Amino acid sequence: MTDSPRIDTHCPYCALQCAMTIENGRVSPREFPTNRGGLCQKGWTSAELLTSPKRLTTPLVRRDGELRPASWDEALDLVADKLRELREVHGPDSVGVFGGGGLTNEKSYLLGKFARVALGTSQIDYNGRFCMSSAAAAGMKAFGLDRGMPFPVTDLDNAGAILLVGGNPAETMPPFVQHLRNAELIVIDPRRTATAELATLHLQPAPGTDLALALGLLHTAVADGYLDKQYLSDRTTGFDDAWRIAATWWPERVERVTGVPVADQRAAVRILAEAANAYILTGRGTEQHASGADTVSAWINLAMALGLPGTKGSGYGCLTGQGNGQGGREHGQKADQLPGYRKIDDPAAREHIQGIWGVDDLPGPGRSAYELLDALGQPDGPKALLVFGSNVIVSAPRSQHVADRLKALDLLVVADLVLSDTAAVADVVLPITQWAEESGTMTNLEGRVLLRQVAVAPPEGVRSDLDVMQGLATRLGQPAERFPTEPEVVFEELRRASEGGLADYSGVTYERLRQGEALHWPVVEESTPRNFLDRFAHADGMARFIPVEHRGPAELPDADYPLQATTGRVLQHYQSGAQTRLVRELNQAEPEAYVEVHPDTAVRAGLGNGQLAAVVSRRGRTLARVRCVPSMLIDVVFLPFHYAGDGRANLLTNPVLDPTSRMPEFKVCAVRLESV
Ligand code: SF4
């Protein structure tokens, strides 16, 4: 790739969406509020995949058990014929669609429309269900609106104190850490992570006990006289019910359940409450539990007791993970949602969207992500699945079971830029364009809409997801103009569809974005960088305390499985690793699955540093190399979830779901260690 023009764009990976310039096939960082000229190792090396020999450039169709090259017409005709046949025999819900939080806003929007209009199916959900859903559900309950971080990232620069629970940005999004440097930082994490190393105070609860800790910190806040009574009466309702439960979580009880010393509980509350400006931020570590939504509600309750949300210079926010984790959950690729963050069972929402799409009716709510995967190939479940921007064989919980379900399908279609682990078992693989080869908008972790522009020409033979949707829709009898392929045209329709919804993009235009305007939604005319300063989004303008009780992990250690496993990320890899494992420098740095173990635990299991171990749960067995880490809790092991094959951490994880968000319990399950 030579002599390509200098184009401003944003990183293809996480939700910080660092600004970069791409020229002659090389990226360089660009000044922008979120990254201030910084990039992490993933961002610096992101251009490598544009010219990777692993890149798919022709459709593949499985014949005689092998994936073989095919023309686009052959591949799309085959898929459309099979979908038509399945729908005729089994009905429209026999086809499922699985989207992703890395898809642009335009793709997320058109995918929801494609599923519900062209396929007529209710069976659509996306991998963001595995990522942000607990925080989203809790934010909706408390504030009436889910904008993960309802203030610009740069507001954190002026914080006196920040409590960060279950997040490790020093590895997941390193340039973000510069926004934490001026504050006294309290980190809550069962591991002593790179972020915990930067903290003033590190609380190290046992996995799955965060809810008890949040209740305990609320108890301490009240007992130590930090309750903001004026804020409670002016801006919230429901404190008394929440307090009735927190009142029973006195510090010594919290210490017994969580392992966090009383003195540390009190210090955390004091630092937070006595700072002039303070924030509570949550990440996946506290959210990915079967009690994830309630756990986030407990942290929001604490934030409200201290008078933080919706206050200038203070607040609550969650750290969105995937590149378009925020936008990806607003435009209708969720099982229960229509564009504009509208509920699919709301008659007024349905009527509005039916009017925009020119249809008389729409399917109702479908299954959540894991329930959809679990139903594949079953008598009442989908017989075909179309996957866009997701690698479920690595990223879904109980992943061997998911792989077996995929095998039970009549048709698996995967649109991806490389032969991901899921694409490798598909019947049809469709090669698609990637970030720098297409335009489209992303909404970053602070609700800011960003425009990615075409920086390089795509390789011959690939098409965009929008082309794929139109190609299939027209073969299924839809008019081509109902499924535009030009991102700006799709965005114009998205604007109208979002109008009047919670996530209102009606005032966002490509033109305004090209001019560099900072547009945080909702945008009718003006941008809203900070939500809730005057009122929360509930009809009465008040935020709600949500009474929640502690529930421990669904699976506790026992004689057969005496340890607890928790999972997370490393600096060099992104999500399922389908992209970053193909980047030479990243793969060299972290090439294989590993398990962090306390040295005494390793000795007890007859293992030494660097030895290959089997980590075994009730659902599977993962092979990982032992890293002895003295700061690990003695009965806890940690595995990164970016690896494929026998190294999949999700072979172990428990798919028990949060009753509200349908989030699986990724962050804790019972395991044992064996030598191999
Ligand atoms: Fe920035 Fe995230 Fe990309 Fe790293 S992966 S460069 S932190 S956007």
Question: Which pLDDT tens digit goes with each residue over 60-115?
Answer: 999 999 999 999 999 999 999 999 999 999 999 999 999 999 999 999 999 999 99
d(CA 570, CA 574): 8
* Nearest to 264, CA basis, from 282, 248, 251: 251
Residue among 14, 30, 153, 444 to mutate when testing ligand 1 (max atoms within 8 A of CB): 14
Same domain, 270 and 289: yes
Cα–Cα nearest to 201, from 271, 279, 136 = 271
Strand-strand pairing, 612-616 and 543-544: unpaired
Q: Same domain, yes or no, for 94 and 154?
A: no
Query: What type of residue sits at position 667?
Result: K
pLDDT tens digits along 276-328: 999 999 999 999 999 999 999 999 999 999 999 999 999 999 999 888 989 88
The count of other CB atoms within 10 Å of the CB of residue 223 is 15
CB 601 within 8 A of CB 634: yes
Atom nearest to 17 CA in ligand 1: 8
Q: Tens digits of per-residue pLDDT, 429-481?
A: 999 999 999 999 999 999 999 999 999 999 999 999 999 999 999 999 999 99
Residue 529 inside a domain? The answer is: no
CA distances, 24 to each of 48, 461, 662 (Å): 12, 21, 44
Residues 501 and 616 grouped into a single domain: no
Predicted TM-score of the model (pTM)? 0.96
Q: Specify the residue for token string 């499924």.
A: 483
As a whole number of angstroms, the distance between CA 144 and CA 146 comes to: 7
117 and 145, same domain (yes or no): no
**Is residue 27 included in any domain, yes or no?**
no
Total domain count, the chain: 3
Q: Is the CB of 27 under 6 A from ligand 1?
A: no
Q: Is 64 left (phi over 0), alpha (psi -120 to 50) or beta?
A: left
Indicate if 574 and 603 belong to the same structural domain.
Answer: yes
C-beta 242 within 6 A of ligand 1: no
Task: Answer whether 283's CB lies under 8 Å from 134's CB.
Answer: no
Structural Rg of the chain based on CA atoms? 24
Q: What is the pLDDT of residue 5?
A: 84
Range of the domain at 204: 133-319
Whether residues 204 and 108 fall in one domain: no
Of ligand 1's listed atoms, the one at least distance from the Cα of 175 is 7
pLDDT above 60 for 2 = no
Contacts of 658 (CB under 8 A, 6+ apart): 133, 134, 137, 289, 290, 291, 292, 293, 294, 664, 665
Is 267's pLDDT higher than 60?
A: yes
**What residues contact 151, with CB distance under 8 A and at least 6 apart?**
315, 317, 446, 529, 530, 531
DSSP conformation class of 30: -
Res. 36: pLDDT tops 60: yes
Average pLDDT, the chain: 96
Chosen domain end from 319, 335, 363:
319
β-sheet bridge partners, residue 203: 188
For residues 615-625, average pLDDT = 98
Of 535, 534, 504, which is closest to residue 521 (Cα–Cα)?
504
| Residue 354 belongs to a domain | yes
Confidence of residue 612 (pLDDT cuts 50, 70, 90): very high
Tokens of 655: 């798919």
Indicate whether residue 468 lines ligand 1 (CB < 6 A). no
Q: What is the pLDDT of residue 1?
A: 52
- E strands, 369-513, are 384-388, 411-416, 428-431, 440-443, 449-452
Residue 15 near ligand 1, beta carbon < 6 Å: no
Q: Does the structure show a pLDDT above 90 at 336? A: yes
Q: Check if 16 has its Cβ closer than 6 Å to any atom of ligand 1.
A: yes
Q: Taking a C-beta distance cutoff of 8 angstroms, is the pair 34, 323 a contact?
A: no
Q: Are 349 and 343 in contact (CB under 8 A)?
A: yes
Of all protein residues, whose CA lies closest to atom 2 belonging to ligand 1? 14
* Amino acid (1-letter code) at residue 384: A
Q: What is the C-alpha end-to-end distance of the chain, expressed in Å?
A: 45
Pairwise CA distance, residues 303 & 545, whole Å: 10
Distance CA 556, CA 552 (A): 8
A 10 A CB-CB count for 311 gives: 18
Between residues 5 and 41, the one the model is more confident about: 41
Q: Is the CB of 18 under 6 A from ligand 1?
A: yes
Closest ligand 1 atom to the C-alpha of 43?
6
In total, the chain counts a number of residues equal to: 676
Same domain, 400 and 503: yes
DSSP, res 437: G
Do 388 and 476 fall within a single domain?
yes
State the average pLDDT over residues 574-595.
94
Residue 339: inside a domain = yes
> Could you tell me if the CB of 14 is within 6 A of ligand 1?
yes
- pLDDT(257) > 90: yes
Which of 319, 352, 373 delimits the end of a domain?
Answer: 319
For strands 7-10 and 19-23, give the pairing: antiparallel
> What is the per-residue pLDDT across 231-245, written as a single tens digit (0 to 9) for each?
999 999 999 999 999
The bridge status of strand 669-675 relative to strand 440-443 is unpaired
Q: What is the mean pLDDT of the segment spanning 401-411?
A: 98
The three-point CA angle 332-335-338 to 5° equals 30
Q: What is the CATH number of the domain that holds 603?
A: 2.40.40.20
Q: Is 628 inside a domain boundary? A: yes
538 lies in some domain = no
Q: Of 200-214, 490-504, 564-578, where does mean pLDDT reach its minimum?
A: 564-578
The single residue listed with the structure tokens 């008659």 is 347
pLDDT over 70 for what percent of the chain? Answer: 100
State the CATH number of the domain containing residue 147: 3.40.228.10
- Whether 19 is covered by a domain: the verdict is no
Which residue among 288, 319, 350 closes a domain? 319
Asked whether the beta carbons of 164 and 140 are under 8 A apart, the reply is no
pLDDT for res 166 = 97
Report the distance separating Cα 173 and Cα 316, nearest Å: 19
Same domain, 252 and 370: no
At 386, which CATH number?
3.40.50.740
Q: Record the tokens describing residue 651, joined without a space.
A: 């072979």
| Opening angle at CA 489, ends 107 and 431, nearest 5 | 40
Distance (angstroms) between ligand 1 centre and the Cα of 389 equals 18
Q: What is the spatial distance between Cα 444 and Cα 118, in angstroms, rounded to a whole number?
A: 29
Q: Is 39 in the pocket of ligand 1 (CB under 6 A)?
A: yes
Q: What is the pLDDT of residue 132?
A: 87
- pLDDT for 650 equals 97
Say which DSSP state 556 is in. -
> Are 85 and 142 in the same domain?
no
User: Which residue type occupies 255?
Assistant: E
The confidence band for 3, taking pLDDT boundaries of 50, 70 and 90, is low
Q: Which residue has the tokens 């109008």?
A: 499
Q: Name the pairing type of β-strands 621-628 and 669-675.
A: unpaired
Given a cut of 60, whether residue 20 has pLDDT beyond it is: yes
Q: What is the mean pLDDT of residues 261-269?
A: 98
Q: Strand (E) positions, 133-199?
A: 161-165, 184-188
On whether ipTM exceeds 0.85, the answer is: yes
Q: Which atom of ligand 1 is nearest to the CA of 14?
A: 2
Quick one: which atom of ligand 1 is closest to the CA of 29?
6
Tell me the CA–centroid distance for residue 647 and ligand 1, in Å: 25
Whether 556 is covered by a domain: the verdict is no
- Assess whether 295 and 187 both reside in one domain: yes
> Do 165 and 98 share a domain, yes or no?
no
The amino acid occupying position 21 is T
Q: Is the peptide bond before 522 cis (omega within 30 degrees of 0)?
A: yes
Residue 587 CA, ligand 1 centroid: distance in Å: 17
